[in-house]
Structure 1
Amino acid sequence: MHPESITFRSGKIAATVRSDSVQLLVSCEASDLSVAEMCRQALLSPIGLPEVTRCVVPGDTIGIVIDPETPDLIEVLTTVCEQLQSVPEGGVTLQLLLPPDPAHAGWTALVDQLPLHLRQQLTVHGHDPEETDQLSYLASSAAGDRVYLNRRISDADLLITIGVICFDSLLGYRGTTSCIFPAFSDTYAIQQARTLGHPELTPEQPRPWRQLVDEVGWLLGTQFCVQIVPGSGDRPLAVLAGLPDDVMVAGKELVEQVWNLPSGRQFDSIVLSVPASASSGWKQFGNAVELATKLIPQNGRIIVVADLPVPEGPGAMMLRRSLEPEELLKPLRREPVDDSVEITQLIHALRHARVYLYSNIPSDIVEELGIIAIEDAAELQKLTTAAGSCAALPHANYAWVG
């Protein structure tokens, strides 16, 4: 029995449209288990490795490296730490290693969400690529590039990566070691990764950045990873743990089953959402609107539900002041800034379609970006009803059109 409505959730925003006005492109059965229980089971029965507490010995220093865009991150991180705290005879030292914060706030909002007892037992380190004394030389890659990483990563007795396995235009597949490199490398490596991906390739086709990420993982040696496979609703499709290579294989299979959309279908309009966060919401937005252009014709409508922060990055400010957005494409490519990729994706989407946004951002700022602001849920429903054909794609940033 089909539901009468489809709800799009993004951060603190929820918007509902009638299901008879849209075609839902992605749907999967959510587990009855809580995220914490899914994670606990994965840690007790990991793929390719013993349970996590048997991978360490008392006195070890454990580096927990996270991808801040991971769904249900706080629940997963809390469960991982609680399992590690059960190690007897003196226990282990837990270090939470965080990449550079795009908001330059030291990830305060993220850390403050952790339970108090966990904050008291974790040592939190934020990576600053400009502090060269934080860096340690790992090795030279096969291509001859010198690879530097935060020395706490190199010095840890065991690394545990917490991330998300999903399609990624730059990497093919995001996940496992991609939360380590280049985010915890030097300024040069991070800058080089600020580039558009390869949407013309299939996810399985070789990509230089994924090859380098995998090489860095091999140079670091065996790690333990905990990875979320996102679902289309409020809960993940799966939580996988164990040996990175084996986890990636299992994760890819699930991602392909749910998130790989067949090519060739076209709709007059598409309604989509992104999970959204203060640090990465616009990045997710850029990925989503880029994908949406493959599902609608020229001059179609892309309708986004997203709880986004006011865009204040250098690329966004350039776009807000510009009368000719397309003239920004060359400078954004030639001298990339923090938000070059997502602003470039937005400009390309605006060339292809009319883009609408239902958010909490003031309408005048939305319109400065070339986007049409949706004022309320009634207007959102009116847009979907008026379309000759309309698709619905929750969490569109995870999808791929194959």
Structure 2
Amino acid sequence: MQISLSFGESQKFELELKDDKVVALCDGAGSTLSSVGEAVDAALTNPPQFPALADATVPGDLIAFAIGRHIPAVDEIIAAILQVVARPEMADRRMAIVLPHDAAKDLEAAVQQMIGERNDVTVERHDPDDRNKLAFIGATKENRPIMINRSLSDADMVVPVGLARLDSSLDYFGPYEAVFPTFTDRETMQRLSAPAFVEQPVLRKRRAGEATEVGHILGVLFGLQVEANGPESISAIRAGAIDQLSTQIQAELAKTWRYQPSKRAALAVVAISGGHYQQTWANFARALAVASAAADDNAAIMICCELSTHPSATMLQLAEHDDLDDQRRRIRRERTTDAVAALQLATTLDRNKIYLLSNLPEAIVDELNMAPVANLEEARKVCEYYDSCTFIAHGQLAEVAVEGEEISSDIDWDQYAL
């Protein structure tokens, strides 16, 4: 069988293996949306079972678009939003485009340029450390204070624009993720990035439920959900009441991104596709989690990527001690941005050998107790060595569940309704 697996910005891993060695080739991304602009236009002017944006608001209203993280073609989406809100039927309304705190600087500059001299639209990068730009809007059922970006709290209508992912994804907050914790304070972000929330399904559901609760308290009724066809392309943009959209979107995502090989393999090869902004330790962790579900115990995993970011101290401490159980206990107490990736790496190393094809120096890969793969020829030799292989494209978006194995992904969003 001929295998072709894209990774990084433009790399391709190609090889030929005997058919009986290939357990599965998981690369079934659907069609790409023909026009982002037309899809956004339809979502805002003719959404299903919801009034058009012009009918849902009145002159004098402030409409805040909360732009989520990791959205493909996000500049095209924002440009289309600005075109819709510039129409006569939207006259006398004010708009705010609120970007995440870690949005790329070139995206912020591009949006500023799109706005130009318009005085009815502002753009803002969220600052989780500036208390003057945060507002207290209430408390959760667990009596935790809710701090939200002030532009969102002051808005008459908040429209989250979020990336839809499978509920079982490693660090997914659910359909209200584009509001919370994306636009909360630093302390809350750090609390909800604790590895325990990712590692334990019960806590993961609680965290997603908290995001839903905050969305309801803020009064969010309507939103846009972006379905990715890949790390930098879109298959659909759906609009409507977020709670009602969730079930439908999960079913659509499962068709595209959930794979069920017939068995686990001796080697799971996972690609992280996309440019620089996709080559992150967070996506490395997602790819590892996906590969772990496809590989046998004591089998091997190979990640193909263009990761070049030097690992932080939390990651590098894995090299200082051989006791992985002790390392996991330590990491669970961390609140650093890559603690989840460190915990996923420690957990996977306890079960699988990990090969890494990346742009990192071999010495660093060695320090992290992984086996560096120098080039594509070495990657081919690794595949030829093992008796069975499963190949997974777009590992940061995919999900694998071997036939007969269940995924704990069902979240009862209704239990968090006010």
| TM-score computed with the length of structure 1 as normaliser | 0.85
- Corresponding residue number in structure 2 for 1:364: 363
The whole-number CA distance in structure 2 between the counterparts of 1:79 and 1:304 is 36
Q: Does the 8 Å contact 1:163/1:226 carry over to 2?
A: yes
2:83 is aligned with 1:82: yes
The whole-number CA distance in structure 1 between the counterparts of 2:321 and 2:199 is 28
**Aligned partner of 2:269: which letter?**
V
Between stretches 157-166 and 276-285, larger displacement belongs to: 276-285
The whole-number CA distance in structure 2 between the counterparts of 1:190 and 1:288 is 22
Q: Does the 8 Å contact 1:229/1:237 carry over to 2?
A: yes
- Corresponding residue number in structure 2 for 1:385: 384
* RMSD between superposed Cα atoms in Å: 3.1
The whole-number CA distance in structure 1 between the counterparts of 2:310 and 2:340 is 14
The whole-number CA distance in structure 1 between the counterparts of 2:296 and 2:170 is 27
- Provide structure 1 residue ranges, at least 5 long, that are not aligned to the other structure: none
3-state SS in 2 of match to 1:299: strand
The whole-number CA distance in structure 1 between the counterparts of 2:112 and 2:97 is 14
2:295 is aligned with 1:293: no
Between stretches 337-346 and 35-44, larger displacement belongs to: 35-44
Q: Does the 8 Å contact 2:101/2:126 carry over to 1?
A: yes
Change (3 A) 1:13 1:83: same
The whole-number CA distance in structure 1 between the counterparts of 2:12 and 2:379 is 8
Q: Provide Cα deviations, 1:32-71, integer angstroms capped at 9, x if missing partner.
A: 6144444444334323323334434444332221222122
Q: Does the 8 Å contact 1:164/1:175 carry over to 2?
A: no
3-state SS in 2 of match to 1:15: strand
Between stretches 88-97 and 66-75, larger displacement belongs to: 88-97
3-state SS in 2 of match to 1:268: strand
Between stretches 139-148 and 276-285, larger displacement belongs to: 276-285
1:237-248 to structure 2, matched below 5 A, reads 237-248=235-246
The whole-number CA distance in structure 1 between the counterparts of 2:161 and 2:273 is 17
2:212 is aligned with 1:214: yes
1:248-397 to structure 2, matched below 5 A, reads 248-262=246-260, 265-275=263-273, 277-278=276-277, 281-319=280-318, 322-324=320-322, 326=324, 327-397=326-396
Change (3 A) 1:49 1:311: farther
**What is the aligned residue count?**
392
2:192 is aligned with 1:193: yes
- Corresponding residue number in structure 2 for 1:27: 28
The whole-number CA distance in structure 1 between the counterparts of 2:161 and 2:360 is 31
Q: Does the 8 Å contact 1:135/1:150 carry over to 2?
A: yes
2:111 is aligned with 1:110: no
3-state SS in 2 of match to 1:128: coil
Q: Provide Cα deviations, 1:154-202, integer angstroms capped at 9, x if missing partner.
A: 0012212121111255788544311211232223321221223466759
- Provide structure 2 residue ranges, at least 5 long, that are not aligned to the other structure: 402-406, 408-418
Q: Does the 8 Å contact 2:159/2:220 carry over to 1?
A: no
Q: Does the 8 Å contact 2:137/2:146 carry over to 1?
A: yes
Q: Does the 8 Å contact 1:267/1:295 carry over to 2?
A: yes
- Corresponding residue number in structure 1 for 2:143: 144
Change (3 A) 1:316 1:200: closer
| TM-score computed with the length of structure 2 as normaliser | 0.82
Q: Which runs of at least 4 in structure 1 moved beyond 6 Å after TM superposition?
A: none
Change (3 A) 1:110 1:388: farther
The whole-number CA distance in structure 2 between the counterparts of 1:206 and 1:341 is 13
3-state SS in 2 of match to 1:166: coil
- Corresponding residue number in structure 2 for 1:100: 101
The whole-number CA distance in structure 2 between the counterparts of 1:213 and 1:168 is 13
> How many Å apart are 1:251 and its aligned residue?
0.8
